[in-house]
Structure 1
Amino acid sequence: MIPDIEKASLQDIKVFQEEKLASLLAYLSENSAYYQRVFSENNIDVSTIKTLEDLSLIPFTTKDDLQKNNDDFLCVPKHKIRDYVTTSGTLGDPVIFGLTDKDLDRLAYNEAISFACAGVKEGDVVQLMTTIDRRFMAGLAYFLGVRKLGATIIRVGAGVPELQWDSILKFNPTYLIVVPSFLLKLIEYAESHGIDVNKSGVKGAICIGESLRNQDFTLNTLAEKITAKWDINLYSTYASTEMNTAFTECEHNQGGHQHPELIITEILDENNQPVPKDEVGELTITTLGVEGMPLLRFKTGDMVKAHTEACPCGRTTLRLGPVVGRKKQMIKYKGTTLYPPAMDNILNDFAEVESYVIEISHNSIGTDEICLKIATTNNSKDFLNAIKDHFRAKLRVTPNIELHPKETIEKLRFPKMSRKPILVIDRRG
């Protein structure tokens, strides 16, 4: 199930996207109070925007713009909204998105072709291990996509290993949709209850919320821990509420494929210029085919690298590598630039670390400080020194480390109303 446009030449994809862009600009000029203001204040005649390169003539949209002008982004009367979702609010106040019937159909299409990318097909059974409520777009998208694909879904929700295994043994799912670290909890439960994970019939896990791969696409420590005990294929996905679109790995595991019929991507440097090939930059997106709240040149804040060589799967589309980190969560620590995912990989090297959060703050002279709050089964001084030595070897710096009961860390990781674990607490303001 590969759409023809995803196998087209790069030139044909560009022409296709430019036609879609023209339609989007006309739609925003007609229906968006926010973008009408932007075009007017910047003397932009949208009919002169002809190419993808011409996008550089249009100002960016930021999370701050969305938070301050939320209602002005809506392009339809409120009676046309069929579903409300909100962003997670990890880096600020949640933003409300209204989805129309057309948007829900688009969401279903996006997930159907994304799941197909990971090998899910008609007749497969998919177990959903994330929430579908709490105004969470992803859970709803997964349900709609599996349905559109002609597969079967089991809506178990997050957590509760006992219920997850009861469902796996009852319904024999072939794929799981799951936060990857939860797979370790499923393995632990199975081992303590005499369940052979490799006889479960599960052949793949579509993973959200945490990285599976290093920048060269090798499995990271977390993924290695999972596959050492459970012989399943792991597929990374990357998405956000603002994008209304997912980037999902195919069987070759070389990055998440772009769907050019749904999204235009730019990867920009500190000066808002396209980064050179193989360089990391900030992902900036323009949504295509969204009716309720389309976005134009939205800066996601995520630092990524694009891969443009053709994939053996037959798709010619751009692929995104693992997210290096959030731009706002970049840390300058003792002369070294860090992103939290690099610390995740190191902490996952230690089986004794049961749970953790990374807390970032400013010290008295205004420079960044890092405190790792850890729950561990080994409180010895030698173990703490081993963690520090590992950080020093891998990242050349050693953060402060505090030991806490697991219950304390879990409360920090799962605050009230949270839909996914919080691994980074940024107190820099």
Structure 2
Amino acid sequence: MIPAIEKASLEEIKQLQEQKLKQTLEYLSGNSPYYKALFAKHKVDIRSIKTIEDLQRLPVTTKTDLQENNDAFFCVPMHKIIDYATTSGTLGNPVTFGLTDKDLDRLAYNEAISFACAGIQEGDVVQLMTTLDRKFMAGLAYFLGLRKLGAGVIRVGAGIPELQWDSILKYNPKYLIAVPSFLLKMIEFAEANHIDYNASSVKGVICIGESLRNQDFSPSVLAEKITGKWNVQLFSTYASTEMSTAFTECQQLKGGHHHPELIITEVLDEDNKPVAEGESGELTITTLGIEALPLLRFKTGDIVKLHTDPCLCGRNTMRVGPVVGRKQHMIKYKGTTLYPPAMHDLLTYFEAIQNHIIEISTNDLGTDEILIRIAAKENTEELLTQIKDHFRAKLRVTPKVEFAPADVLHKLVFSPMSRKPTHFIDNRN
């Protein structure tokens, strides 16, 4: 199930995107109060924007813009909204996204071709280990996509290893959709309860919310810990509510494939200019074919690198590499630039660490301070020394590390108000 456009030539892909960009600009100009005002303020003649390169003449949209002007981004009357979703904003309050009936169809199409990219086929049974409630878009998107693909869905929801295993052993799913760190808890429960997990029906896992790859696409420590015990194939996927689009790995495991019929991607530097090919920058997207709340040059806050070399799967679309980090989460510590994913991966290396949280604050000098709180099997000075030495060797700096009660950290990491584990808290001024 590879859409023809994804196997087309690069010139044909560009032509399609430019045609859809023209339609998007006309739609925004006619229906979006926010973009109408933006075009007027900057004296933008949308007829002059004809190519992907011309996008650079348009202003970017930030998460703060979206939060401060949420209602003005809607392009349809509220009676056309079929589903309401929310995502976090930069100013504390969540941002509301509405989806029309056509938007839900587009969401289903996106997930269907994304799951097919990872190898899920009609008739496969998939266990959905994430929530469909609390106004999260992801769980609904997964369900709609699997339904469109013709796969069976077991809606178990998040957490509770015993319930997950009961369902796996009863319904024999071929794939799971899960947060990868939770798979370690699945393995731990199986071993404690004499479940032969390598003899189970599960062959692959679509992993959400946490990175599985290093920048060279080699497996992360987390991925190696899982596959070192459980013989399953792990597929990484990257998406966000704002995009209503996913970038999912194919069998080659070399980055998430772009769906050019759904989204235009740019990678920008600090001055909102395109980075050189092969360089990292902030992923900036323009959504295509969305009715309720389309976005133009929206800065996601995620630092990524694009890969344009041909993929052996036959798709000619570019691929998004592993997220380096979130721009707003960048840490300057003792002269070194750090991102939480790198620290998270180092902590996952230690078998003795059961859970962790990285807290960033501003010290008396006005610079970034790092505190890592860990729950460990045994609280020993030797472990603290090993962790600090490992940080010094890999990242050239040593943050403050202290032990914390396991139950306290568990409540912070697995908040009922988040569909993903929270391993990073930013308390900076």
**TM-score range, shorter-chain basis?**
over 0.9
CA contact (8 A) 2:63 2:89 kept: no
User: What is the percentage of aligned positions where both structures have the same residue?
Assistant: 68
CA contact (8 A) 2:64 2:89 kept: no
Q: Distance in 2 between matches of 1:334 and 1:110?
A: 43
Q: Secondary structure at the match of 1:360?
A: strand
CA contact (8 A) 2:67 2:90 kept: no
Which whole-Å deviations, capped at 9, do the CAs of 1:270-310 have from their partners, x for residues lacking one? 12111112111000000001000000000000000000011
Q: Tell me the residue number matched to 2:166.
A: 166
Q: Tell me the residue number matched to 1:282.
A: 282
Q: 1:91 to 1:185 in 2, by over 3 A?
A: farther
Tell me the TM-score normalized by structure 1.
0.99
Which whole-Å deviations, capped at 9, do the CAs of 1:22-55 have from their partners, x for residues lacking one? 0000000110000000000011111111001111
Root mean square deviation, CA, Å: 0.9
Which whole-Å deviations, capped at 9, do the CAs of 1:53-84 have from their partners, x for residues lacking one? 11111101000001000000000010000000
Task: Select between 84-93 and 138-147 the one with higher mean Cα deviation.
Answer: 84-93
Q: Tell me the residue number matched to 2:331.
A: 331
Q: Tell me the residue number matched to 1:262.
A: 262
Q: Tell me the residue number matched to 1:99.
A: 99
Structure 1 runs of 4+ aligned residues shifted over 6 Å read none
Q: Secondary structure at the match of 2:228?
A: helix
CA contact (8 A) 2:67 2:89 kept: no
Report the residue type matching 2:223 in the other structure: A
How many residue pairs match? The answer is 429
Task: Note the residue ranges of structure 1 that are not aligned, 5 or more in a row.
Answer: none
Is 1:272 paired with 2:267? no
CA contact (8 A) 2:64 2:90 kept: no
Which whole-Å deviations, capped at 9, do the CAs of 1:372-402 have from their partners, x for residues lacking one? 0111112111111000000000000001112
Q: Distance in 2 between matches of 1:199 and 1:309?
A: 37
Q: Tell me the residue number matched to 1:118.
A: 118
Which whole-Å deviations, capped at 9, do the CAs of 1:313-337 have from their partners, x for residues lacking one? 0000010110000000000000100
Q: Distance in 2 between matches of 1:274 and 1:59?
A: 13
Q: 1:59 to 1:130 in 2, by over 3 A?
A: same
CA contact (8 A) 1:134 1:419 kept: no
CA contact (8 A) 1:88 1:418 kept: no
Task: Select between 341-350 and 413-422 the one with higher mean Cα deviation.
Answer: 413-422
Report the residue type matching 2:107 in the other structure: L
Q: Distance in 2 between matches of 1:187 and 1:97?
A: 36
**Residues 27-426 of structure 1: pairs in structure 2 closer than 5 A:** 27-89=27-89, 92-426=92-426
Which whole-Å deviations, capped at 9, do the CAs of 1:335-390 have from their partners, x for residues lacking one? 10000000011000001111111100110010001000111112111111000000
Task: Note the residue ranges of structure 2 that are not aligned, 5 or more in a row.
Answer: none
Report the residue type matching 1:206 in the other structure: I
Q: Distance in 2 between matches of 1:211 and 1:23?
A: 35
Q: Distance in 2 between matches of 1:87 and 1:351?
A: 33
Q: Secondary structure at the match of 2:26?
A: helix
Q: CA deviation at 1:89?
A: 4.5
Which whole-Å deviations, capped at 9, do the CAs of 1:402-426 have from their partners, x for residues lacking one? 2110111112223352222111100
Q: Distance in 1 between matches of 2:304 and 2:110?
A: 21
Q: CA deviation at 1:252?
A: 0.1
CA contact (8 A) 1:197 1:230 kept: yes
Q: Secondary structure at the match of 1:141?
A: helix
Q: Distance in 1 between matches of 2:19 and 2:104?
A: 23
Tell me the TM-score normalized by structure 2.
0.99
Q: Secondary structure at the match of 2:146?
A: helix
Q: Distance in 2 between matches of 1:54 and 1:83?
A: 33
Report the residue type matching 2:365 in the other structure: I
Q: Distance in 2 between matches of 1:92 and 1:155?
A: 31
Q: Distance in 1 between matches of 2:181 and 2:90?
A: 19
Report the residue type matching 2:196 in the other structure: D
Report the residue type matching 2:122 in the other structure: E
Q: Secondary structure at the match of 1:122?
A: coil
Q: Distance in 1 between matches of 2:382 and 2:367?
A: 29
Q: Distance in 2 between matches of 1:88 and 1:132?
A: 17
Q: Tell me the residue number matched to 2:26.
A: 26
